[in-house]
Structure 1
Amino acid sequence: MEYQGDLHAKDRLLTSIHKISHLLTRPVSLDTVLTAIVEETAHVFGYDRVAIYLVSKDKRLLECKYEIGFTPEEMEIAFQRPFNLERHECIETLVVKTGQTVYIRDYSTDSRVTYLDRKVSAKQNRFATIAVPLNLRESVIGIIEADRGGYPLVLTEEDIQHLSIFANQASIIIENTRLYEQLVNERNFAENVVQSSPNCILVVNCDETLRTVNPMAQSILGLKQDSVIGQKAPQVLGDPLGKIISDALAGRLTDGNEVVIKHKGGARTILEVSTSQLRSQDGAVLGAVLIAMDLTEAKKTDEWMRRVDRLSSLGQLSAGVAHEIRNPLASINFNIQLLSKRARLDEKSQRIIENSLAGVERIKGLVKGMLDFSRPAPPQLKKESIHRALEDAVALMDSQFAKHGIKVVMNLAGDVPDIVFDNRQIQQVFVNMLLNAMQAMPEGGTVTIETRVGGETKELSRYLSVYLSDTGIGIPRENFSKIFDPFFTTKPEGTGLGLSIAHKILEQHGAHIEIRSRVGQGTMFIIRFPIEGVEKHVPVQDPHRG
């Protein structure tokens, strides 16, 4: 059957070109375009077998992308064995190299047929073929190859011309689809960079409406993208971020400034903020970008390391001072006791002696605290229940709590595993915390003890957390960094060593302690124990706790 180049054929050609061109009016993949080209080639020009090949990006290979009419075995070979444009001499590579259509009417007599052509034709039962180049701006991006299986292929000049016209249009469509896919991939890459960034990224339009809020920004700032996109940034974010964005749109950019974001419940986040403008090619301002790095944990870790260094130095100093005081203090204590027994003292003198002995006992307690702080006993580690240690500590304080009108509420999680710790030392820590809570509530109040495994972040999932809070007078924020320092106290009769010793004990257990407090509302201590055992851990903070 010969293909006749009449008006009807031209009409079908134009219809076919319009059909594949219509693919450019909607987003489609390159595979969809290639499939449509091959199927239209077979349908319009009456070929039984059609294949489309594209030159690889490195221009070394000619790869089969789609074909119809071939057996599964033939298709597998075509897809797995591309032609090498440098080494393979065949009809397909000839078309790419010359950019000219090759029509082989009879493989047995055509001088252009190579050994490789004969080998492939024998396997595919191919007697004749036509291969047209996919030309694009003086380069060949691939070929369309077609035949009628084991039947003769007789084509007129007009038939070949029509197929070439179709192939030229197909080349444009393929290139445009590739460009579209490249743009989509670049856009998706840019979006993935923004979405997966560990930094907070906000993008606003020039009218201050939010355009992009990446997941980290949503997490840090407590935003939901669906509800804030299109809203005015200053109204959504408030100060200081809202003002920083407005300044950026006005050309007043920020570079590495630290800002503090206050959350509901009193939690604070420290951000390092930078801004830049988005501009068009002609320099018009399209919007602004705010990038913020969360420094909260880094600042917390720095403070923790400074505290450790400070406590280490104070520990060494305390050990020296304690040793220097202990020996003369023992002599003073002995002499006062000896004097009280041998001398005949009036009532006033006896009170002086008793007060002196009481003072000596207080100094002895202070010296013991200094030694405990400087050289705490190594923990005797055993796997035990932290709940039992808490309950025992509360039991020790029961009578004191009742005397001062203090109620204890315990919310202990049911899924808390046993952990490795020294029961005596950790009980000492808990008693110290409870004693501080009692002293902060001279008029009575409530102590709440809560345990929890894990938290909102992956880091917190490795910890068992004990939350111990009171409804007392609270601690001023300026004292937060000092309350674990030796000898720091706000109580007239305090030594300032209780929390320092507690911190030292927790440090030996690979645990750490945090504080949350508001003056006039109360204080919460959070102690985090590693579930997997005693290790060196840097502090972590649950961002969703106030």
Structure 2
Amino acid sequence: MEKSFQTRVAVVSLALATAAAIIFALFNFLQEGHYQLPTDGVWWTEAHGGLEAQRVLKGSAGQRAGVKTGDLLVAANDTATPRWSVLVRQMWETKVYGTIHYTLIRNGVRLIDVPVILDTQDRSLNQGFRLIALVYLGIGLYVLFRRWTAPHATHFYLFCLASFVLYSFRYTGKLNEFDWIVYWSGIAAGALQPALFVHFALAFPEERRRWHKSLIGVTYFPGIIVVCLQVLALEAWSATEVLRHRLDQIAVGYTALFYVLAAVIFFVNYRHTNAPLRRQQLKWLTRGTVLAVAPFTLLSAIPFMADMSVPDALTKIAGLCLIFLPLTFSWAIIRYRLVDVDLIFKRGVTYTLATATLVGLYFALVAVAAELVHTRLPSAGPWGLLAAIIITAQLFDPLKKMIQDRVDRVFDRKRYDYRTTLIDFGRGLSSQTDLNALLNAIVDRLLKTLLVERVAVFLSERSGDYHLAAAHGLPKTLYGQEAVLDFGFLDFDQPDAGSHVFLENTQQTLYLTESERRSAALLDLNYYLPCRVQDRTIAVIGFGRTSGGDFLSSEDVELLESLASYIGIALQNALLYASLELKISEYERLKEFNENIVESINVGILAVDLKEQVESWNSQMEVLFALPRGEALRQPLSSVFSESLMEEYQRVRDDPGVHNLYKFRLETKTGESRTVNVAIAPLIARDFQIVGRIILIDDITDRTELEAQLSQAEKLSSIGLLAAGVAHEVNTPLAVISSYTQMLTKQVRGDDRLSPLLEKITQQTFRASEIVNGLLNFSRTGSTEFRETNVNAIIHDTLTLLEHQFKTAQVRVDIALAPELPPILGNAGKLQQVFLNLFLNAKDAMTGGGRLRIMTEANGHVGIAITDSGSGIAPEHLQKIYDPFFTTKTSPKEGQRRGTGLGLAVTYGIIQEHAGKIHVESEVGSGTTFYLEFPMLRKPAHV
């Protein structure tokens, strides 16, 4: 009883508050239309000695009168204006379109009698706010009347009512009692509305946290402070424009802050909620709040609080953007059942019409009864009329209940809300192409809509053969157990098959076979509906009983049969899409495999169409022609090939069969010459039609160079053998000459004329013998035996071999060999080859003569430095000089030898074999120094 009384008090209070708000808003609107506020269009603020013009609006009365920013107003109509309130009073006395006379001080000059014709204040924005107010009130009343017992419905209506007061109440400036009520109502609504909005944001999610409740009490405290400040300003503080402006800034900042806070709360709740319907509701609430709050905060609130100048058009747009908030709320209510309100339009219209019919019938009967009493029993007087009305009302009550029961029975039987949801869902299924996502969506939506305990979807592989694709409520042991389930009772492709199968008791299906009964009992589904497409069953959907243990109604089954066709089409589309994706994946894999083969072949491959445009260009062609694939494709072949190669292509392109060009000299765009083998063949399609040409280009430059170097090596080997034979042959006459010369020297001893000549002959003979022996040792293919070796001696022997070449090339040799250089463990023949290569390279680098310095030292190791004053090595070549076949002597100058690119490569290998190190330092134009290091033996060689 107490709760019922509280409910009645709440209903009556809300009704009275709503009626009062509507009446006051109407009178306020009418009064505003009959009372105009004067304005001069200047923003004045209190300053020393008067009011200072902070801003003069464009096209305003003040601008037309010549008022400028910075002017000081000291009097209006000969009345001193130390406060803005004095100026306002003078404007009210002057009235709109009257002339007020200002006394201004500008730059120290007093301007007397500046006439200003006052304009009326622009209140066009008020009508926009009143439109927003009506939208709020309409939404609030709709929610309250439809489901006023739903959670948060009353709270939501209070928010809408406060918003209506906030946006519709505009004090006119007349300042009578009614105007003061409007003024303070607007102040109270402005303090209450943002707090109610944040309160609603905190209380809306059902899964709200405990700390939400503690925040709700704090929500209203800032609004109380705002109201208290307004009261203090009016009762205790001096009424100045600065004070009014600061209070307005506080109110606007409070509103903007709470709006932003509500948007943040909506967004956080949206990110943390898992219920799909709740996420949709919060998504739209968040979007609408941001869409309304962002322009208001950025274009109006922040500039106003920061005293920034913003165009009036932007301010109006920012204010009107607030209408998006109620519009979004209304969309969320209608589309996503916000605050659990049942807003099916048809039901609302029917209830409204039924209620209107009852009310109209009631008043019609009352009027008829009153007329009959008045005409037939005039002597009854007022008491008889009152008795007739009471009797009619009592007789009408059963009729009203009968009509209401009929309407309720209609709505209990036709639950259009979830039916409409299912139909919309079925029509939108075709947009989903992922089979698993589609199956999950079907099961989830059917569960939530029909409130059944079990749902299963069986996909058809062939007639009468199904497999369980998705389900809810079935035992997990059934998944993947299609082999033990007999779906013979689901053969809907037979001519006499019905529209569905109904099993009243899944444990006792006597008309089924034993295996089919076992399957039906395991599945425990009471309804099976086929999803047909073009007279073929794509899938079967199974349903159990509702969560209350009831069967589905005939209307439910009829609706599901209609929905099944949509589901069948969607499943067929998803299956076809999955099949297409599989084929595309196989095609892409095969295409990628073939492309990988073409790209991996170390042969340039390109294909041209019949118009001789490049259609294919692999990576080897990119390397060979230094032309990226993107630049080569769709280009004419003549713009890619050189003239010589294009001539050969034109010569053989029309001939059948494969044509080969062996060791063709190809000039690339970089100016490099390459040796290639070219194969040109027709490109034939499946129908044996020629659709283009395929060209294979095999770069054999390195191979031909290697063949040439091997040939040169064979020549060098032959020359070595020849040199060994020559050395043996030359040694014999040299020995005879030396012997006879020594004999003659002994015979003519003491002869001052002949003895010196014979000694010179003997010295030159020994020198020739040393040269021949050095050549013999170098050409001898010695073993790789390592022994104690003197590096200085090897350097002397090598210089002896090259002494003539150095003189011819005008190369001066400076030797600084350490006298007691420790021996190393090495092979003398291979080390002599190292020094011979380095000395010859140094000679070739000094084409016009120069200086070669050779220095040895012992510093924990045996070090050799070979420095020339030649042309040096380019920086880009320093990292390549040890690579086999790399040489810069492809076109040797006069006096140089043609390089093979093997000298330094062999040298590097020999040094590594001796556990040594080699390092080069070079500067172009200044010379090159090679540093060699070898590990020394623990003990020096004994002499």
Shorter-chain TM range is 0.5 to 0.7
Are the aligned partners of 1:91 and 1:117 in contact in 2 as well (CA < 8 Å)? yes
Partner of 1:235: 639
Query: 2:659 is paired with a residue of what secondary structure?
Result: coil
Contact 1:104 1:130 (C-alpha < 8 Å) held by counterparts: yes
Corresponding residue to 1:287 among 692, 706, 712 = 692
* Aligned-partner Cα distance in 2 for 1:301–1:368: 30
**In structure 2, which of residues 606, 612, 618 is the aligned counterpart of residue 214 of structure 1?**
618
Match of 1:435 in 2: 843
Change (3 A) 1:465 1:365: same
Q: 1:283 to 1:475 in 2, by over 3 A?
A: farther
Q: Cα gap change, 1:452/1:144 in structure 2, threshold over 3 Å: closer, same or farther?
A: farther
| 1:158 CA drift (Å) | 6.9
> Judging changes above 3 Å, is the alpha-carbon distance between structure 1 residues 331 and 250 closer, same or farther for their aligned structure 2 residues?
same
Separation of aligned partners in 2, 1:230 and 1:69:
56
Q: Tell me by how many angstroms 1:149 deviates.
A: 6.5
Letter in structure 2 aligned against 1:435:
K
Q: CA deviation at 1:290?
A: 1.8
Identity of aligned residues (%): 14
Distance 1:127 1:405, change over 3 A: farther
Query: What is the aligned partner in structure 1 of residue 917 from structure 2?
Result: none
> Would you say 1:299 and 2:704 are equivalent positions?
yes
Deviation for aligned residue 1:254: 2.7
Query: 2 CA distance for matches of 1:454 and 1:148?
Result: 80
Partners of 2:686 and 2:487 in 1: CA distance: 43
Rate the CA distance shift 1:119–1:329 in 2: closer, same or farther, 3 A.
farther
| 1:408-433 Cα shifts (integer Å, max 9, x gaps) | xxxxxxxxxxxx99877534421121
In the TM superposition, residue 233 of structure 1 has moved relative to its aligned partner by 2.0
Q: Secondary structure at the match of 1:449?
A: coil
* CA distance in structure 2 between the partners assigned to 1:475 and 1:404 by the alignment: 11
Counterpart code for 1:183: Y
Q: Secondary structure at the match of 1:432?
A: helix
Counterparts of 2:473 and 2:573 in 1: how far apart (Å)?
Answer: 25
SS at match of 1:291: strand
Q: State the one-letter code of the partner of 2:872.
A: T
Instruction: Return the alpha-carbon distance in structure 1 between the equivalents of residues 775 and 473 of structure 2.
Output: 90
Aligned length, in residue pairs = 430
Q: Distance in 1 between matches of 2:766 and 2:670?
A: 46
Deviations 1:467-516 (A, max 9, x none): 77799626999x667x99xxxxxxxxxxxxxx7xx8875664589xxxxx
Q: CA RMSD in A?
A: 6.2
Query: Do the aligned partners of residues 240 and 164 (structure 1) sit closer, same or farther apart at CA in structure 2, a change above 3 Å counting?
Result: same
Residues 448 and 225 of structure 1: CA distance in aligned 2, closer, same or farther (over 3 Å)? same
TM normalised by structure 2 equals 0.35
CA contact (8 A) 1:453 1:461 kept: yes
Max Rg structure: 2
> Given the alignment, which residue of 577, 583, 590 partners 1:179?
583
1:89 match: 484
Could you tell me how far 1:306 is from its partner in structure 2? 4.5
Higher helix share: 2
Aligned to 1:277: 682
Q: Counterparts of 1:264 and 1:379 in 2: how far apart (Å)? A: 51
Structure 2 CA distance for partners of 1:371 and 1:352, relative to 1, 3 Å: same
Q: Cα–Cα, structure 1 residues 332 and 146, in superposed 2: closer, same or farther, change >3 Å?
A: farther
Equivalent of 2:602 in 194, 198, 201: 198
Specify which structure has the higher proportion of strand.
1
Identify if the C-alpha distance between structure 1 residues 469 and 33 changes in structure 2 by more than 3 Å, giving closer, same or farther. Answer: same
Q: 1:35 to 1:10 in 2, by over 3 A?
A: same
Is residue 330 of structure 1 aligned with residue 735 of structure 2?
A: yes
- Is the Cα contact below 8 Å between 1:99 and 1:135 reproduced in 2? no
User: What secondary structure is seen at the aligned counterpart in 2 of 1:447?
Assistant: coil
**Conserved? CA contact 1:50–1:147, under 8 Å:** yes
Q: Contact between 2:681 and 2:695, CA under 8 Å: does it hold in 1? A: yes
Tell whether the 8 Å contact from 2:426 to 2:567 is kept in structure 1 after alignment.
no
Q: Which amino acid aligns with 1:331?
A: V
**Structure 1 residue 108 and structure 2 residue 528: aligned?**
no
Q: C-alpha offsets along residues 239-296 of structure 1, whole Å, 9 cap, x if unaligned?
A: 4444455556544643463323335776443322223333444444433222223323
In structure 2, C-alpha distance between the alignment counterparts of 1:228 and 1:299, rounded to whole Å = 28
Where does residue 664 of structure 2 map in the other structure? 259
Report the residue type matching 2:485 in the other structure: C
Number of the residue aligned with 2:435 = 34
Q: CA deviation at 1:222?
A: 0.8
Greater relative contact order structure (CA < 8 Å, 6+ sep): 1
Q: Distance in 2 between matches of 1:70 and 1:476?
A: 92
Aligned residue for 2:611, secondary structure, equals coil
Whether contact under 8 Å (1:373, 1:504) holds in the other structure is no
Among 772, 780, 784, the alignment partner of 1:374 is: 780
- Any conservation in 1 of the 2:609–2:691 contact (CA below 8 Å)? yes
Letter matched to residue 330 of structure 1:
A
Alpha-carbon separation, structure 1, partners of 2:610 and 2:635: 12
Shift of 1:218: 0.8
Task: Check conservation: 1:437, 1:472, Cα contact below 8 A.
Answer: no
CA contact (8 A) 1:447 1:468 kept: no
Question: In the superposition, relative to structure 1, how do residues 451 and 190 fare at CA in structure 2: closer, same or farther (>3 Å)?
Answer: same
User: Which secondary structure state, in structure 2, belongs to the residue aligned with residue 179 of structure 1?
Assistant: helix
Query: In the alignment, is residue 448 of structure 1 matched against residue 872 of structure 2?
Result: yes
Question: Structure 1 unaligned runs (5+)?
Answer: 21-31, 56-60, 382-388, 407-419, 485-498, 512-524, 530-546
Shift of 1:194: 2.6
Give, in angstroms, the shift of residue 177 of structure 1.
4.0
Cα 1:163–1:330 change in 2 (3 A) is same
